[in-house]
Amino acid sequence: MPCYLKIKCPHCQSDEVIKAGFTSQKKQRYRCQHKACKTTTFLQDYTYKGYYPEIKAQIIDMAINGRGIRDTARVLKISQWLVMEELKKSRLNEPN
């Protein structure tokens, strides 16, 4: 009997997910088809841990608590560039 994994969207937790090809590293790409979800595609296992939603949330939490970009990058073992990009995105999505 085959074993199937139930894939859920990491952003909206919907199970309306379909396969959407492969990356250049031969990893399966998925697409969320839930109407309210703004995510286009995602991977179940990222090569670089900085792309996980949990790490992105930690970046924002550390910035709110006064940690610097270099410190955040060092603690989470990700690049400073990714920390800056994530902080820019979070700043742009805030209501005025």
Q: Is residue 39 part of a domain?
A: yes
Same domain, 43 and 57: no
Q: Is residue 95 part of a domain?
A: yes
Q: Is residue 86 part of a domain?
A: yes
Contact (Cβ atoms closer than 8 angstroms) between residue 22 and residue 28:
yes
Report which secondary-structure segment, H or E, holds 5. none
pLDDT digits (tens, 9 = 90+) for 25-78: 888 999 988 888 877 788 887 778 888 888 989 999 999 999 999 999 999 999
Higher-confidence residue: 54 or 92?
54
Helices 80-92 and 53-64: crossing angle in degrees, nearest 10, is 80
Confidence band of 92 (pLDDT split at 50, 70, 90): low
SS (H, E, C) 41-52: EEECCCCCHHHC
Q: Based on the structure, what is the number of domains in the chain? A: 2
Contact (Cβ atoms closer than 8 angstroms) between residue 82 and residue 50:
yes
Q: Residue 43: which domain range? A: 8-47
Residues 88 and 96: their CA atoms lie apart, in Å, by 15
Same domain, 52 and 95: yes
Identity of residue 62 = M
Question: What's the whole-number mean pLDDT along residues 81-93?
Answer: 84
Q: What local confidence, expressed as pLDDT, does residue 82 receive? A: 92
Q: Is residue 82 part of a domain?
A: yes
Q: Is residue 30 part of a domain?
A: yes
